[in-house]
Amino acid sequence: MNKPILIRGARQLVTLRGPAAPRRGAALNELGIIPNGAILIRDGRIAEVGQGRRVENLALAKDAIEIDAAGRVILPGFVDSHTHLVGGPPRLGDFEMRIAGQDSRQVAEAGVLSSVKAVRATPSRTLETHARICSEQFVRHGSTTLEAKTGYGLDHMGELKVLRVLAKLNRAPLDVVPTYLGAYAVPPEYQGRDYEYIDWVIAEMLPMIRRRKLARFVDVNCDRDGFRLDDSRRYLEAARSLGFALKIHAERLSHSGGARLAVELGAVSADHLEQAGPDDIAILAQSSTIATLLPGAVFHAGSNRYAPARSLIDNGAAVALATDFNTGVSPTCNMPMILSLACAYMRMTPAETISAATINGACALGCADRAGSIEAGKDADLVMFDASDYREIPYRFGVNLVAMTMKRGAVLYQRGEVSCPAPL
């Protein structure tokens, strides 16, 4: 048994305590803050949480390793429920073409195909190395659990290669939850034959991936640059029949009907939703499907069409936030910056953004029983910030205030002091 760990003196211990269920409406603002809070950790799990004096006087705390959190804020580790972790090199050419004013749809479609070509041609070890570097950036910005999609292989060997890389990355050190996004785009060899491609995926890929237990979720891009509603439905129904949980890229570039399909099929989440209308908001609010919003993609595209977060929340929908990390669409691992964008452009409160990026993100991945809040019995996934108030985290946009990231009681990242050389 490892020696227990005592984290003491937190100015604000933001626990998000409560049921392991998505927060909605006013509950998104209820953070369960404990002033002068302390956490006692044993064997990677949280043993006790509460006021400092009470926790510090427990018998288990007497010989514990102490971590001083005086004057700082502690949050649950961020749960990033939508990323494309393995996607080839940065699409810098796309970036410059968008800046120059070229048609964004054509740039995006060409970019996806270039990423598919790159992923197919790149050795697994190289893809893994690049993904590990990105994972380290997630850790530095406070994320401790990630969802990661395929979708840039789009053939048998390419998709399996990505899924095997994701399997190697899981728990090394982050939890990586794999999603099969075989229906992200129509691959080059099937151009103009969308129906045939979906037939092939249903017949060949879905049963094999399920049999080998390579993915927990199945996702589809139901949009004008992806698949029509009828093909999306066939694909998702086949996945559901095999026991996969479902996700949908919905209402991203056009009003496709993806949000309604997500609710109809019982999808865990409908993601993006920039084009969602009043009917979509109403149906999501009455469902268990989580609206996962991705403001980083909108910001990077230079668009002003953000998802209607305020209306979704006010109508009672469960809302999560994620980075949508993607080498072409949203090349950021910085969840605090996503919180800043959600406050500035989607009118979410700081408290709502934190709930959306922790407990609701965990619910969107089916892991809220062990992640997303700081409560006894859960994994000790924590982030300490050099801030005295949680509102500073989104307020200080683009600034990394993370002082320490901990995963299952192990310190993954601890920021050091900036050196000050002697004057010449």
What is residue 101's predicted lDDT score, i.e. its pLDDT? 86
Bridge partners (DSSP) of residue 384 are 74, 404
**What distance in Å separates the CA atoms of residue 261 and residue 400, rounded to the nearest whole number?**
38
In this structure, which long-range contacts are made by residues 103-106, counting pairs with CB atoms below 8 Å and at least 24 apart in sequence? 104/301, 105/224, 105/225, 105/253
What is residue 110's predicted lDDT score, i.e. its pLDDT? 75
What is residue 1's predicted lDDT score, i.e. its pLDDT? 67
**CB 262 within 8 Å of CB 246:** yes
Residue ranges, CATH 3.20.20.140, the chain: 79-333
What is residue 112's predicted lDDT score, i.e. its pLDDT? 84
Residue ranges, CATH 2.30.40.10, the chain: 5-76+372-414
Q: Reduced to 3 states, what is the DSSP secondary structure of residue 375?
A: coil
Q: What is the pLDDT along the chain (424 residues), one digit of tens a residue?
A: 689 999 999 999 999 999 999 999 999 999 999 999 999 999 999 999 999 999 999 999 999 999 999 999 999 999 999 999 999 889 888 888 888 888 767 777 778 888 999 999 999 999 999 999 999 999 999 999 999 999 999 999 999 999 999 999 999 999 999 999 999 999 999 999 999 999 999 999 999 999 999 999 999 999 999 999 999 999 999 999 999 999 999 999 999 999 999 999 999 999 999 999 999 999 999 999 999 999 999 999 999 999 999 999 999 999 999 999 999 899 999 999 999 999 999 999 999 999 999 999 999 999 999 999 999 999 999 999 999 999 999 999 999 999 999 999 999 999 987 777 777 6
Q: Reduced to 3 states, what is the DSSP secondary structure of residue 191?
A: coil
**What distance in Å separates the CA atoms of residue 141 and residue 290, rounded to the nearest whole number?**
24
Helices (H), 122-267: 124-140, 156-169, 194-200, 206-212, 229-241, 258-264
DSSP assignment string, 297-316: HHHHHT------HHHHHHTT
Taking alpha carbons only, the member of 80, 151, 124 closest to residue 328 is 151
Dig out the tokens for 271 from the structure: 């993601």
What is residue 251's predicted lDDT score, i.e. its pLDDT? 98
Cα dist from 401 to 141, 142, 308, 336, whole Å:
8, 9, 28, 9
Instruction: Say whether domain 5-76+372-414 belongs to CATH 2.30.40.10.
Output: yes
CA 204 to chain centre: 28
Q: How many CA atoms lie within 13 A of 172 on its CB side?
A: 11
Q: Answer positive or negative: Cα dihedral of 297, 299, 300, 303.
A: positive
Taking alpha carbons only, the member of 77, 245, 89, 86 closest to residue 173 is 77
Dig out the tokens for 101 from the structure: 């004013």
**What distance in Å separates the CA atoms of residue 404 and residue 41, rounded to the nearest whole number?**
15
Helices (H), 242-291: 258-264, 278-285
**What distance in Å separates the CA atoms of residue 209 and residue 180, rounded to the nearest whole number?**
8
**CB 357 within 8 Å of CB 300:** no
Q: What pairing do the DSSP bridges indicate for beta strands 73-76 and 33-42?
A: unpaired
**CB 137 within 8 Å of CB 149:** no
**CB 124 within 8 Å of CB 196:** no
Query: Residue 327 — φ and ψ, nearest 5°?
Result: -65, -15
Which helix H or strand E contains 107, and what residues bound it?
A: helix 104-121
Instruction: Say whether domain 79-333 belongs to CATH 3.20.20.140.
Output: yes
Which helix H or strand E contains 354, and what residues bound it?
A: helix 350-357
